[in-house]
Amino acid sequence: MLSCPRGEDIAVLGDDDDDDDDDDVEEEYGEGKTDKAASKQTRRLICRAGDRLDFAAGHYESARLGMEELIARYGRMKGGAGAVDGLDDEGKDIGYAVMLVVGAGNRLEEERSA
């Protein structure tokens, strides 16, 4: 989200219909022929340009709160009377996720100050 260009709406291309019925899809090209599959794609707006930072901030805050809860649970599982053995790989994964969330927070602050 934060890597998307400033001043532009954020959208994705998707199919008009949700079914996977490809029986009526034409894939022939040439003079007078159209790609029926391509004509079914539509632009789906995710976020307007003016709402980009607020949208990203909402998702960042949700990730940050979830990460705090995850770290607290991991701490309870790793230490104390009910300690669980073999959580080293999970600790590395959690550390990586924490760095991603921190990086997103830093990028969000950079975008706000720009």
Delimit the domains of the chain by residue range: 10-113
pLDDT value at 29 more than 80 = no
The pLDDT, as a whole number, for residue 18 is: 54
Q: Are 25 and 37 in contact (CB under 8 A)?
A: yes
CA gap 87, 77 in Å, rounded: 8
User: What are 78-88's pLDDT values in tens digits?
Assistant: 776 667 777 77
Q: Are 43 and 15 in contact (CB under 8 A)?
A: no
Q: Which residue has the higher pLDDT, 99 or 22?
A: 99
CA gap 53, 56 in Å, rounded: 5
User: What are 55-73's pLDDT values in tens digits?
Assistant: 999 999 999 999 999 888 8
By CB neighbour count within 10 A (0-12 exposed, 13-18 middle, 19+ buried), where does 32 fall? exposed
Percent of the chain scored above 90 by pLDDT?
43
